[in-house]
């Protein structure tokens, strides 16, 4: 498996390679661009908590694993950024992604003879990614493209409240995950079509990997310490937006 550092080197090498050939081509009249988009970010793998068996408040607890899609569903995200054309085909890009998704009440497992439920806090993150986009020179107003991006996402802390109604007990756990700086990797394919001399519309589909959040072990000695150890995820972002060239 390719390490994150190796991917950074590969993306940097691709940018430098594209830059070295830019002088041999006719430079574009409009090198700079700014774009904004909105879309969905469905998770395709990754768990917000893992499963475990332990004790809590002197009672046996069974925790079931919950995926991001179980807890947060398909959230919206807002993207904005800009780019610089190295030549007619290659563009260096910087993209910012903001997400804020509320959680659904989730079945967490069982404690004693009672069902255990969980209410997670909102998932909020702001990410910045840098990479290279490569266009196909079709000579038409429609231009397909592919891009690779590497970056970092700042994920806010995540709280959790556990409740066992039949036992009339509520366990309030703050900072289930602490504030996190997670690494990201995104690979996208899209289609850009020209609306006017300066404006374009685009749509794209991709895959995005976000490394795990920072766990806070408030469940020490219960046998449940590992339920928040593995929280990396893969998502399938679908984006629609507009771009201005200048």
217 in any annotated domain = yes
User: What pLDDT, in 10s, does the model give residues 7-61?
Assistant: 444 544 454 454 444 444 566 788 999 999 999 999 999 999 999 999 988 899 9
User: What pLDDT, in 10s, does the model give residues 58-106?
Assistant: 899 999 999 999 999 888 899 999 999 999 899 999 999 999 999 999 9
pLDDT given at position 19? 42
pLDDT given at position 24? 44
22 in any annotated domain = no
Q: How far apart are CA 180 and CA 153, in angstroms?
A: 8
User: What pLDDT, in 10s, does the model give residues 163-204?
Assistant: 999 989 998 767 899 999 999 999 999 999 999 999 999 999
pLDDT given at position 25? 56
23 in any annotated domain = no
Mean of pLDDT values over 129-135:
97
159 in any annotated domain = yes
Whether the predicted pLDDT of 1 surpasses 70: no
39 in any annotated domain = yes
Q: How far apart are CA 157 and CA 75, in angstroms?
A: 18
HEC string of 169-229 equals: EEEEEEEEEECEEEEEEEEEEEEEEECCCCEEEEEEEEEEEECCCEECCCCCCCCCHHHHC
CATH number of domain containing 84 = 2.40.160.20
60 in any annotated domain = yes
Residue 8 CB coordination number (10 Å): 14
5 in any annotated domain = no
pTM: 0.85
12 in any annotated domain = no
Domain that holds residue 45: 32-245
Number of domains in the chain: 1
Whether the predicted pLDDT of 213 surpasses 60: yes
């Amino acid at each position: 498996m390719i390490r994150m550092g190796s991917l950074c080197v590969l993306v940097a090498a691709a940018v430098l390679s594209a830059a070295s050939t830019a002088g041999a081509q006719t430079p574009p009249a409009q090198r700079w661009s700014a774009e904004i988009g909105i879309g969905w970010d469905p998770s395709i793998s990754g768990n917000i908590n893992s499963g475990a068996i332990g004790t809590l408040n002197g009672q046996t607890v069974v925790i079931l694993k919950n995926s991001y899609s179980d807890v947060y569903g398909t959230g919206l995200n807002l993207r904005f950024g800009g780019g610089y054309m190295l030549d007619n085909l290659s563009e260096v890009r910087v993209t910012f992604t903001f997400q804020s998704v509320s959680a659904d009440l989730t079945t967490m497992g069982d404690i004693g003879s009672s069902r255990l439920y969980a209410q997670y806090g909102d998932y909020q993150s702001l990410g910045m990614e840098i990479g290279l986009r490569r266009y196909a020179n079709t000579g038409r107003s429609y231009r397909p493209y592919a891009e690779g991006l590497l970056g970092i996402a700042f994920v806010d802390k995540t709280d959790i409240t556990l409740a066992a109604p039949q036992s009339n007990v509520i366990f309030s756990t703050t900072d289930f995950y602490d504030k996190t700086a997670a690494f990201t990797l995104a690979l996208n394919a899209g289609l850009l079509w020209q609306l006017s001399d300066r404006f374009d519309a685009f749509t794209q589909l991709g895959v995005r990997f976000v490394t795990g959040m920072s766990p806070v072990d408030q469940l020490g000695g219960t046998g449940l310490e590992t339920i928040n150890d593995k929280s990396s995820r893969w998502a399938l972002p679908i984006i629609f937006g507009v771009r201005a060239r200048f």
